A and B are shown apart, each in its own frame.
Chain A
Amino acid sequence: MKIAWFTPFSMQSAIGRASAAIVGELSKHATVDVWHCETSGVRKTPVRTIPFSKALAVDLTDLASYDLVIYNLGNHLPFHREIFHLSRRFPGVCILHDFVMHHFFAAYYLEDLKSPKAYIEAMAKLYGEDGRAVAADALAGKRDRVWETDEVVRYPFFEDAIRGAYGVVAHSHFLAERVAKSYCGPVAYIPLAYDVVKPARPLTRAQLDVPEDGVLIVTVGHVNRNKRTHAVIEALGRIAGAGDRVTYAVVGPCDPAYRTELLELARSRGLERSVRLMGYTPDETLQAYLTHADFCVNLRFPAIEGGSASLIEEMLYGKAVLVTNTGIYRELPDDCVIKISPENEREGLPPALTILIEDADHRQRLGNRAREFAEGEFHPANYAKHLLKFIWEARSAKPLLQLADRLGAQMTELGVQAGMEIVDTVSSEASKMFGGEKGFPQASADKFQR
């Protein structure tokens, strides 16, 4: 079997890293070619790589030689732009890394196309008059931009990301279920795979300037309000003596305004010596922090991702992790992580932090359990196994999805408009005739339009 795997593949991309791990395993059972846009700073992989520049430049007959094409999609336009455009020209399976794809599409309509009208129309098409109003008001300055607020989860835009796909992979049950509500085609939940590089000789605690007898708390990754860092600092401020015992390292870049807010907050709580906002950190240092961390904090609210590479990393390092009980985090076993209810964050954080600060055995037990779980669940071999099974399922559904596409295209060519009776007639007849137990993707003049 021949698979084309489209992914961001730079060293900065977490998805690229996950891809490398997965593709390594997948290639044991199939021929896999990795297609990528980047020309420099590209990951190494034993699998064949094919660079491409623009979606329009790709010769579709090359793609037709594969049994299936897989597209990795995420919320960051610069990394996924060409991959997305190609997925529209040549349908395949989409691996949807992010639940919220709003930032991607907002940037596409507003910056690439420079068309506020297109953004508003897209919002209207997906989310009705409410969507239209929200978009129009935001652009007119009457309210905050949707993607800068928590409201963004009500207008996720993932529906447009996967339109026309032959199958969708999601990394949480929650996202798989959401997808299944609006997408007609095979959907699978596969736990995200990730690997860790554990340094043979990590930098020492001393080299990190972390006290040997103190408690090191680590948060990894790009930090913004969504990561609730302010809540953590605020909670630490209410724990007596935390300032002397705890080092809280935020290892990763921080939004500038948020950074200022956090520094001010730390100072006002007397934690200016405990809290360190590292900014972008080289791998060696990051790995050292993870090695020495006593526990990790990985809060999210609202949950906008489809999967969390940082969480997997922390668990594979055998660390106890404090998470928000929402989204993918809710699906983790209770004996692996400590879950904070989002409604009860302010009250819940201090006691949870206290237990982890005080009880080393408890931390250890949780951490071991976490590693055990992660090594099974998030192993690339596990991912590959599930994915191969899903590829078979997607290939089995492909002829019917292609039939739906053709019927939709024919109707469009005939001038059929949405809402005409024939659309339902064709849909129900095709479903009855060919649908089988799983039913049939609804053919419609507009739904499967390219």
Chain B
Amino acid sequence: MKIAVLNNCVPYVWGGAEHLAQALTEKLNEYGHEAMLFRMPFRWQPPGKVVESMLACRLMRLPNVDRAIAFKFPAYYIPHEDKRIWLVHQFRQAYDLWGTEFQDLPDTVEGRQIRAAIMRSDNLSLGQAQRLYTNSGVTSARLKKFNGIDSEVLYPPLFESSHFHCVEYGDYIFYPSRVTASKRQHLVVESMKYVTTPVRLVVAGKEEAPADLEKIKRIIRENRLEERVTLIARFITEQEKAELFSRALGCAYIPYDEDSYGYVTLESFHARKPVITCTDSGGTDVVVKDGKTGFVVPPDPKAIAEAIDRFYADRRSTQAMGEAGFELMQTLRISWEHVIECFTR
């Protein structure tokens, strides 16, 4: 089948949806189809540009294409009779961000007209799709709430998972991620003040801003955690990450209110390691089930420390939870095989 994968594009910016679109394209080719990725430049400032981008997409054509799969607004406006959508983002400024400081559209006559136009055409375009998937329960809930449209959740798998494996349940908790305030690595570092077992912590990732890194370093210094906490303050390779997961005891992933479960949780489960997350981390609760595949605790250093200690103290339980995490991914069908099947049947 000849498949066009459609995403939008803000030049030089490459985020989760971009990785997913790229990954899907590559996987489709791997599974024997012909797939090509097209990215539409998208501007939303000044606000009038949003409607221009929408119209531009409506005027595009996809000749010689059997099926189209679109990820984001306004790429899903490109016409095709067999269009499937894997919705990662609507134009949230018109929906849940309207009325907040992030609404971006001015509350003027024109701004409101643009908002109305977006809602109207979204209902049309999303409604016309042959199949409508979203990447998370949160996205589906938003879609139902604002557009009254039903959708199915299709969980994004890791692009490559074969390199993750389990060698042993070692003595350190692993937290790989971009170092930012919202990922809250500082909170896990702080919790190491309160652990009672000899467990250690390895944090790996490039900082978004120097201040984020400074904060962590200061916590380590002030609490004399240099022996306990290893800070790899740079971008690590996939190989390095797999290696570190293979010997970890478990994983900590405690971002603030994210839509999706994050690839880190999947990486951990592929390595058969359970995950500690927080009650306010958002979408991680899809895969991290308290007591079954890890622990879900309040965002408090003492509570996090307690969970970490439990991993260390009861190795058998830790291993069982890690295995259960891996099983849960199968149950939830978080796999490329499932994704490809959804889009090519």
Chain A residues proximal to chain B, CB less than 8 Å: 407, 410-411, 413-417, 420-422, 425-426
Among B54, B59, B110, B121, the residue within 8 A (CB) of A421 is B110
B55 interface hit (Cβ, 8 Å): yes
**A410-B58, A420-B110, A422-B55 known; A415-B48 Cβ under 8 A:** no
B120 interface hit (Cβ, 8 Å): yes
Interface CB pairs A-B, < 8 A, 23: A407-B55, A411-B55, A413-B58, A414-B51, A414-B55, A414-B58, A414-B117, A415-B117, A415-B118, A415-B121, A416-B55, A416-B113, A416-B117, A417-B116, A417-B117, A420-B48, A420-B51, A420-B110, A420-B117, A421-B110, A425-B48, A425-B52, A426-B55
By the criterion of a CB under 8 Å from any partner CB, how many residues of chain B are at the interface?
Answer: 17
Complex contact B121–A422 (CB within 8 A)? no
Q: What's the Cα separation between A420 and B118 when bound, in Å?
A: 13
Complex contact B55–A421 (CB within 8 A)? no
Residues of chain B with a CB closer than 8 A to A407's CB: 55
Residues of chain A with a CB closer than 8 A to B120's CB: 414-415
Residues of chain A with a CB closer than 8 A to B48's CB: 420-422, 425
Chain B residues proximal to chain A, CB less than 8 Å: 48, 51-52, 54-55, 58-59, 110, 113-114, 116-121, 124
Q: What's the Cα separation between A413 and B58 when bound, in Å?
A: 10
Residue of B nearest to A423 (CB): B51
**Known pairs A414-B121, A415-B120, A417-B117 / 7 extra A-B pairs, C-beta < 8 Å:** A410-B55, A410-B58, A416-B113, A420-B51, A420-B117, A422-B55, A426-B55
In the assembled complex, the CB of B7 is this many whole angstroms from the nearest CB of chain A, namely 20
Residue of A nearest to B123 (CB): A415
Complex contact B58–A416 (CB within 8 A)? no
Residues of chain B with a CB closer than 8 A to A411's CB: 55
Going nearest first, the 3 A-B pairs with the smallest beta carbon separation are A415-B120, A415-B117, A414-B121
Q: What's the Cα separation between A410 and B55 when bound, in Å?
A: 7
Complex contact B113–A417 (CB within 8 A)? yes
Q: What's the Cα separation between A420 and B113 when bound, in Å?
A: 8
Residue of B nearest to A422 (CB): B51
Residues of chain A with a CB closer than 8 A to B116's CB: 415, 417
In the assembled complex, the CB of A390 is this many whole angstroms from the nearest CB of chain B, namely 31
Residues of chain B with a CB closer than 8 A to A426's CB: 55
**SS of A interface (majority):** helix
Residues of chain B with a CB closer than 8 A to A421's CB: 48, 110
Residues of chain A with a CB closer than 8 A to B110's CB: 420-421
In the assembled complex, the CB of B336 is this many whole angstroms from the nearest CB of chain A, namely 35
Residue of B nearest to A417 (CB): B113
Q: What's the Cα separation between A420 and B119 when bound, in Å?
A: 16
Which among B55, B59, B119 has the highest number of chain A CB atoms within 10 Å? B55
Q: What's the Cα separation between A414 and B54 when bound, in Å?
A: 8
Residues of chain A with a CB closer than 8 A to B124's CB: 413
Q: What's the Cα separation between A326 and B58 when bound, in Å?
A: 50
Residue of B nearest to A421 (CB): B48
Q: What's the Cα separation between A413 and B55 when bound, in Å?
A: 10
Residues of chain A with a CB closer than 8 A to B119's CB: 415
Q: What's the Cα separation between A417 and B111 when bound, in Å?
A: 12
Residues of chain A with a CB closer than 8 A to B113's CB: 416-417, 420
Q: What's the Cα separation between A414 and B59 when bound, in Å?
A: 12
Complex contact A410–B59 (CB within 8 A)? yes
Q: What's the Cα separation between A425 and B117 when bound, in Å?
A: 17
Residue of A nearest to B59 (CB): A410
Residues of chain A with a CB closer than 8 A to B55's CB: 407, 410-411, 414, 416, 422, 426
In the assembled complex, the CB of B13 is this many whole angstroms from the nearest CB of chain A, namely 25
Q: What's the Cα separation between A422 and B55 when bound, in Å?
A: 9
Among B52, B114, B118, B121, the residue within 8 A (CB) of A413 is B121
In the assembled complex, the CB of B48 is this many whole angstroms from the nearest CB of chain A, namely 5
Residues of chain B with a CB closer than 8 A to A416's CB: 51, 55, 113, 117
In the assembled complex, the CB of A424 is this many whole angstroms from the nearest CB of chain B, namely 10
Q: What's the Cα separation between A426 and B51 when bound, in Å?
A: 11
Q: What's the Cα separation between A426 and B55 when bound, in Å?
A: 10
In the assembled complex, the CB of B125 is this many whole angstroms from the nearest CB of chain A, namely 9
Q: What's the Cα separation between A411 and B52 when bound, in Å?
A: 10
Residues of chain B with a CB closer than 8 A to A420's CB: 48, 51, 110, 113-114, 117
Q: What's the Cα separation between A415 and B113 when bound, in Å?
A: 8
Residues of chain A with a CB closer than 8 A to B52's CB: 422, 425
Q: What's the Cα separation between A407 and B54 when bound, in Å?
A: 12
Residues of chain B with a CB closer than 8 A to A413's CB: 58, 121, 124
Q: What's the Cα separation between A92 and B110 when bound, in Å?
A: 35
In the assembled complex, the CB of A249 is this many whole angstroms from the nearest CB of chain B, namely 63
Residue of A nearest to B109 (CB): A419
Q: What's the Cα separation between A411 and B55 when bound, in Å?
A: 7
Q: What's the Cα separation between A414 and B124 when bound, in Å?
A: 8
In the assembled complex, the CB of A403 is this many whole angstroms from the nearest CB of chain B, namely 10
Residues of chain A with a CB closer than 8 A to B54's CB: 414
Residues of chain B with a CB closer than 8 A to A410's CB: 55, 58-59
Residue of B nearest to A414 (CB): B121
Q: What's the Cα separation between A321 and B55 when bound, in Å?
A: 58
In the assembled complex, the CB of A419 is this many whole angstroms from the nearest CB of chain B, namely 8
Residues of chain B with a CB closer than 8 A to A422's CB: 48, 51-52, 55
Q: What's the Cα separation between A439 and B121 when bound, in Å?
A: 30
Residue of A nearest to B115 (CB): A415
